[in-house]
Amino acid sequence: MTIDLKTVKHISKLARISVNDEKAKKLAGDLNSIFDFIEKLNKLNTDQVEPLSSIAETTLKLRIDEIKSKNIRDQILKNSPSKNKDFFVVPKVVE
């Protein structure tokens, strides 16, 4: 898969990012090198490799799930930009 200048411009338009031609050429090169590396990784034989969740050989310590702060809703809602007694009111983001 190769990324050309037209594709970078299209992606930047979708992401609403202003990219000039010089920056778009650099991004196209960077993206192409990333995709080349991914293709190399896809060619590796990993049939005998056990899946990992971490490279560290440690286990997480479990803790008791308990409530430490009670009845702090009013304190939290003081940070709300609009006043409401039950929840945060925030500006609409999606049109």
Alpha helix positions (H), the chain: 5-14, 21-43, 73-77
Other Cβ atoms closer than 10 A to 22: 8
The structure's pTM equals: 0.52
Q: Are 27 and 19 in contact (CB under 8 A)?
A: yes
What pLDDT is stored for residue 52 in this prediction? Answer: 84
| Helix-helix angle 21-43:5-14, to 10 degrees | 100
Q: Are 1 and 33 in contact (CB under 8 A)?
A: no
Tens-binned pLDDT, residue by residue, of the chain (95 aa) = 789 999 999 999 999 999 999 999 999 999 999 999 999 999 999 999 888 888 887 887 898 988 888 888 888 888 777 777 778 777 778 86
What pLDDT is stored for residue 7 in this prediction? Answer: 93
Q: Which domains does the chain have, with CATH numbers?
A: 5-43 (1.10.20)
What pLDDT is stored for residue 27 in this prediction? Answer: 94
